[in-house]
Structure 1
């Protein structure tokens, strides 16, 4: 097992970054991560002006995977996510959905004890750790870790959690995978501009898939196959996530396009991932049993 320390950070996903390490196809890797503020916030009275905003949304990496060539798919099997003992939340003017209604910045430290987040003296939130930022290097210009796209990035999708396998495009040799921005818990939408931001570590197993042409990113878990899309507007992201799932059903499961649309209208669920990043992210979820009944094998994906 290979481990990458939390001081190996990038603030953009880029083909120009030198890899911090190289691993073989099939390797298990542990990524140690900072929180999205790079652990800068330590108490609730801290002034926002003390933060270095050039150090927001760091990702640990990038990692070069041997045998990953442009046009391949990188399958990131998420084995476990372990979080630290304290998280942080914040919102304020010009932040999140209601930033125009808030007069001052608010910081809340959130202790993690006994398997729950202690949101307040009376409220407890069950832990549901997930990865906010995870992606491969794009083939073109650098993309800030704060922005999602077809390469992955800051998708803030609550389904990117232990037990799921995320499929990402390989755009450059070695893929150059990086990840960070863990949340101890986060609701769909991320309306305050944050979840419970937290440091931690992610253990993944990496597989290179040759010869697949799915529209990515996609995610597979025990119950669903999920198409994820990010666009400038939420309605555009929702439309493209739906189209990408239709493309999957048509191309990999042999459905007629109109029939695939009908199936999604009857059994698919179109959901919001986040509405607060430079691009908005939506996902189309379909119970995987339908793809399996059509003869698609996720074991061979």
Structure 2
């Protein structure tokens, strides 16, 4: 089945994965076009709007969407065709006890907390650039626009309700820059209908999201949805035209790294039929690793390998290639 489902977000109301009724029904093979708000719920408009003063809640997501026929033990495939800034500006900030280079309740220090400060980025969608402007000097620099979604996930298992800020096996706040247009995200289904939601658009983000906040921006999102029956996915995975990527989420960062590497090694072994230690050796020499975020309640790491090295082994029955074809039918 093909077709397009349009869902326009009126205002942010969802800040969790799990615990909410579906807002729309999606059939496998259909395309969803929707909008997302920024992590500040649209409340930070100028550099004088301190999030602690103007925001009541953070990191809203759009959804959840019920996928017809999805059951626990299946895999949801989401192919992102377009992620486009809905505004010509984005916002970023520092917070007193948030980010990789400040004290937190789990990493206390005797230094005073960082000040809360806001930066505004002008976005030129036609040229594909955004402008960084220093707050304490006249320094500016243009950076390439690289839109992505920071938060995509499904309802957790066991009736659990998780805040949208926390990444885990269900997805959530992955903050992985590789979740950009042209990629397919695979998530294990935990409840009937999967109940996926998405949001937290970033006009761009550096690896690690070091200060804890990317260039946050409302987005227009187009995603092709499919369902892979009776195939479980233990941790979030991404497929691009050239890479397979496994994502791990945990604290400490070492555990997130190990989770992502373990998932990639076992995934590659399953796809290629290689012995487990042979696969471990191959991934050790040919793989790449990078942080998603090192600031949230769980950190995220990803492990990646080029599909050419695997002689173009086919993941999930060629779902990525198939969904690219479905998405291209729109244009």
SS at match of 1:291: coil
- Determine the structure 2 residue equivalent to 1:134: 152
SS at match of 1:225: strand
- Determine the structure 1 residue equivalent to 2:202: 183
SS at match of 2:77: strand
- Determine the structure 2 residue equivalent to 1:17: 20
Runs of 4+ in 1 over 3 A off after TM superposition: 100-103, 295-299
**Any idea what the Cα deviations from partners look like across 1:150-169, whole Å, max 9, x if unmatched?**
01000000100100000011
**C-alpha displacement of 1:251:** 2.1
Contact 1:237-1:280 at 8 Å conserved across structures? yes
Alpha-carbon distance between aligned partners in 1 of 2:12 and 2:27, rounded to the nearest angstrom: 19
Alpha-carbon distance between aligned partners in 1 of 2:274 and 2:161, rounded to the nearest angstrom: 37
- Determine the structure 2 residue equivalent to 1:244: 263
Contact 1:229-1:282 at 8 Å conserved across structures? yes
1:231 aligns with 2:234: no
Structure 1 residue runs of 5 or longer lacking an equivalent are none
**Any idea what the Cα deviations from partners look like across 1:67-125, whole Å, max 9, x if unmatched?**
11111000001001010211000003212122246542110111101321111252111
**C-alpha displacement of 1:30:** 1.2
- Determine the structure 2 residue equivalent to 1:125: 143
1:274-293 matched pairs, under 5 angstroms: 274-293=293-312
Q: 2:79 aligns with which of 77, 86, 107?
A: 77
1:153 aligns with 2:172: yes
Contact 1:31-1:202 at 8 Å conserved across structures? yes
Seen in structure 2, the aligned counterparts of structure 1 residues 164 and 75 have a Cα distance that, compared at 3 Å, is same
**C-alpha displacement of 1:290:** 2.6
Alpha-carbon distance between aligned partners in 2 of 1:17 and 1:203, rounded to the nearest angstrom: 22
Seen in structure 2, the aligned counterparts of structure 1 residues 48 and 60 have a Cα distance that, compared at 3 Å, is closer
Alpha-carbon distance between aligned partners in 1 of 2:148 and 2:218, rounded to the nearest angstrom: 11
**C-alpha displacement of 1:8:** 5.7
SS at match of 2:292: strand
> Which moves more between the two structures, 4-13 or 29-38?
4-13
Contact 1:214-1:248 at 8 Å conserved across structures? no
- Determine the structure 2 residue equivalent to 1:112: 123
Alpha-carbon distance between aligned partners in 2 of 1:170 and 1:82, rounded to the nearest angstrom: 27
**C-alpha displacement of 1:260:** 0.7
SS at match of 2:311: helix
Using the size of structure 1 for normalisation, the TM-score is: 0.95
